[in-house]
Structure 1
């Protein structure tokens, strides 16, 4: 179940303790079977740690070292971001990745009510589209104001890609506007990103 190079949120299982050991941004699950993310970030391999049954590779979550210079988001780039705040008019996000590259600096993005979806825009409710902690895929549509990029999730493949239920479990998408907790079966509204079938 190794998940290298994936965006994860706190509480997600990212590897087995029989194969890996904990590193920065991770901890061992209560049952002792899993390496679990403790922060939002990108999973990557750390150093090799000696163990009783031989060395194990650390599983880490965060921003790995990159040789690239600072990545500057630009219009039409697709980004991965975490929702930090929501109000009646927009959702505020922190941009984590531009395309598949993790950003070193902190860039803020805003998804306004009119940019959530492409149809029935007047009926959009931000609280029914995003919640703090959601991981979203979005497109930069303009540079916005001095501190924030304007983001859009109006295309079908954009929107929430990862969300935690009120009970603390990773939800499963069941439609373009709903996700469901696999444990409690409770349904929550989101603007869900459509996953392309391979």
Structure 2
């Protein structure tokens, strides 16, 4: 289990089985990571001792979403009220591991929120530029695409071709001419 990237608050093991090293803390009988880094274990120093678990910072940049961060994510699945996404980049920095995010239907557009339909905004596989609006629950960040520069930046048609935006709410397959509804990001 050494070498795994861990975030603050991640459980590393039982305090009865491990000594807490640098970058960790003990609470309620569990050892937790206190910093972002990689997990490392040192073997027990004496015969009756416990191995030490610690978290080491690496020189590489770690991308962790924060409120206000612009992220690039891939739509994983849809339901009528929200889109589940995998956050791949925070700003210009790629994530070591994908973070989970949710774009709720009310966070897609700034106006006419009651008319928004999830299937007319995103489809599974779309790459979306969004902003982190809340750290959400323990599993997912809450994201929004209400600004003009946020929305779908890459999508494939039903035929499998890369689509191009033709308006803020439509993309077209240049080969077949098929038009599909999307909440498109304004190009830079």
Q: Find the structure with the greater CA-based Rg.
A: 2
1 CA distance for matches of 2:64 and 2:177?
40
Runs of 5+ unmatched residues, structure 2: 1-57
Match of residue 79, structure 2, among 78, 82, 87: 87
Which residue number in structure 1 is paired with residue 179 of structure 2?
187
TM-score, length basis structure 1: 0.65
1 CA distance for matches of 2:175 and 2:68?
37
Match of residue 160, structure 1, among 148, 152, 162: 152
Q: CA offset at residue 72 of structure 1?
A: 1.4
- Conserved in 2, the CA contact under 8 Å of 1:70 and 1:105? no
TM-score, length basis structure 2: 0.68
Which residue number in structure 2 is paired with residue 106 of structure 1?
98
2 CA distance for matches of 1:185 and 1:159?
21
- Conserved in 2, the CA contact under 8 Å of 1:116 and 1:154? yes
Please say if 1:145 is aligned against 2:130. no
Match of residue 65, structure 2, among 65, 70, 73: 73
Residue 127 of structure 1 aligns to a residue whose secondary structure is helix
Runs of 4+ aligned residues of structure 1 deviating over 4 Å after TM superposition are none
Which residue number in structure 2 is paired with residue 26 of structure 1?
none
Which residue number in structure 1 is paired with residue 88 of structure 2?
96
2 CA distance for matches of 1:103 and 1:183?
33
2 CA distance for matches of 1:73 and 1:130?
21
Which residue number in structure 2 is paired with residue 130 of structure 1?
122
